[in-house]
Amino acid sequence: TDTSQSSHSRHGTECDSNNMKVMLEQLRFNTIVMEGDFTAQRMKELIAEERTKVTRSTDAFALVILSHGTEGYVLGTDWECLAIKEIKEMLSSTKFRRMAGKPKLLFMQACQ
């Protein structure tokens, strides 16, 4: 798959990010927006870090990723691939025990 795009910028990201934040806040989610140029490895680290902040009293967890992508993957700014399957595994009840049996929402805006 060709991942040799000439630019890291993703047009519309700021608008998409703001719209998702507003929508999630209307649904009474506490939101944290992390903007920046993240490598694939850093995205994995951030997901792992956010999982540790969740308590048993948390009702639901939502993750929004706005990035470039290719089929089955999102791309870091290093153009390394992070498998959507791996992200889903990180959010699974076996890996994310505090959220076992509770809704985990994954939103992605990335070309597939």
Paired residues of 108 in beta bridges: 65
Which of 8, 15, 81, 111 is catalytic? The answer is 111
Integer Cα distance of 51 and 40 in angstroms: 17
Q: What is the pLDDT of residue 62?
A: 96
Integer Cα distance of 14 and 89 in angstroms: 27
DSSP reduced 3-state for 11: coil
**DSSP run (H or E) holding 33:** none
What is the 8-class DSSP label of residue 36? Answer: S
Give every residue of the chain whose pLDDT is below 70, as ranges.
Answer: 1-11
pTM of the model: 0.83
Told to judge if 111 belongs to the known catalytic residues of this protein, a careful annotator would answer yes
Which of 8, 11, 15, 68 is catalytic? The answer is 68
